[in-house]
Amino acid sequence: MCIFCDIVEGKIPVQKIFENDLVLVFLDHRPINTGHALVIPKTHYANLEEVSEEALIAVALAIKKIGGLLKTKLAVPGYNVCENNDGIAGQEVPHLHFHVIPRQENDGISHQWPHREYNPGEAEEIIKKLLT
């Protein structure tokens, strides 16, 4: 059993923000910033490829709702939405979840990804592989 499934079943208490039949939203117990929330489908899905469209839509709507609450109730000017898909990408709990991380001016969090250029012909080769 996974820790998020235990949370859904009520075996582990959390600070719930929102819940419906498909989704649970709660405060991260080790927040990056105040108000950092986790949005999870109640059904166990390991990653984005497994999740049903119905559950994914419900999760997206919950993210939108929580983002709005952060802005209106906590005066947060913006937030990051992050989903690490599989262990290689940093997913620590193998239950699909999205982080909604409030951001403040000068909060000291850097979110810079390194960028590179494609080699000649490389982008075309990738497109060919993806579309055939």
Say how far apart CA 126 and CA 26 lie, in whole Å: 38
DSSP state of 77: S
Report strand pairing: 98-103 vs 37-41. Answer: antiparallel
Instruction: Name the residues annotated as catalytic.
Output: 97
Cβ–Cβ under 8 Å, residues 38 and 95: no
